[in-house]
Amino acid sequence: MSTAAESRQAKVIDELRVFIKKVLSDPTIAVKSVEIARKFRDQPGSDELIAREISANTTIRIPENWSDADRMFLDILHEVLDDEAALY
């Protein structure tokens, strides 16, 4: 793996560690995030709307220019909603 790729991977891991610590210290973050994702799921530009609403209503901050970790979080939210829909 190249040094740039290793550096990028280390940054993603660091961001995810901070995120996981926030979720573990405030379990309402996960619930709020899923509720917000559910609210905006089918709207045009849903990822942008979800990111803004989560940033405004939780301690999670998703900047305008998403990192790989931010994108991964949004993708996981969609997967959770897909799994939820498959149950019904």
For residue 27, what are its two tokens?
Answer: 């379990």
pLDDT tens digit sequence for 41-64 = 999 999 999 999 999 999 999 999
The overall average pLDDT reported for the chain is 91
Q: Quick one: which of 37, 47, 53, 39 has its CA closest to 70?
A: 47
pTM for the model stands at: 0.83
Query: What pLDDT, on the 0 to 100 scale, is given for residue 1?
Result: 61
- Please report, rounded to a whole number, the percentage of residues in the chain having pLDDT higher than 70: 98
Q: Taking the domains of the chain in order of start, what are their residue ranges?
A: 3-87
Listed as ranges, residues in the chain with pLDDT below 70 are: 1, 88
